[in-house]
């Protein structure tokens, strides 16, 4: 078992943390082994908490900049937004390319480029919200 405030290992029968003095609640004392093994992986919990802060459109639009999506994936420990954006852009490009494969027009290329600039932030925002919901569910289980 671990203290939910500082992460110090505690015994099951302790009422206070020996390191920080936090008064342990009854339900914290009865947490399963899953909690203690998950808490040891503090980086994952921190990534889940960082995902909860991603409520605005900033990162969604920032994914248009190269390598921002890779930074986001490593810092938040999720690839969901990247995968959804790739799938949406690939399917959109395939459909447009298939419908207009006979046309070799620069206008169609410009339309596809503009559509990708519109759909990428929308797809990433959807992926971020899915990752946030998953992280919220996991944090509720852990903490």
The alpha carbon dihedral of 116, 122, 123, 128 has a sign of positive
pLDDT tens per residue across span 13-45: 777 777 777 776 654 444 444 444 545 567 788
- Position 100 scores a pLDDT of 73
Q: Which pLDDT tens digit goes with each residue over 2-14?
A: 777 677 777 777 7
pLDDT digits (tens, 9 = 90+) for 47-99: 888 898 888 899 899 988 889 989 999 988 899 999 999 999 888 878 777 77
pLDDT at 123 over 50: yes
**Structural domain boundaries in the chain:** 1-40, 43-142
Residue 141 has pLDDT above 50, yes or no: yes
pLDDT of residue 129: 93
What would the 3-class secondary structure string for the chain be?
CECCCCCCECCCCCCECCCCCCECCHHHHCCCHHHHHHHHCHHHHHHHHHHHCCCCCHHHHHCCCCCHHHHHHHHHCCCHHHHHHHHHHHHHHHHHHHHCCCCCCHHHHHHHHHHHHHHHHHHHHHHHHHHHHHHHHHHHHHC
> What pTM does this model have?
0.65
């Amino acid at each position: 078992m671990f203290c939910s405030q500082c992460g110090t290992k505690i015994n099951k029968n302790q009422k206070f943390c020996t390191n920080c003095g936090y008064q342990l609640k009854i339900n914290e004392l009865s947490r399963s082994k899953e909690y203690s093994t998950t808490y040891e992986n503090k980086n994952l919990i921190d990534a889940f908490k960082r995902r909860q802060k991603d409520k605005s459109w900033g990162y969604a639009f920032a994914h248009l900049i190269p390598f921002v999506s890779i930074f986001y994936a490593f810092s938040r420990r999720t690839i969901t937004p990247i995968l959804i954006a790739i799938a949406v852009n690939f399917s959109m490009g395939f459909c447009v390319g298939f419908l207009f494969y006979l046309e070799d027009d620069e206008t169609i290329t410009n339309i596809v480029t503009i559509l990708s600039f519109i759909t990428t932030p929308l797809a990433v925002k959807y992926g971020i919200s899915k990752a946030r919901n998953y992280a919220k569910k996991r944090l509720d289980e852990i903490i």
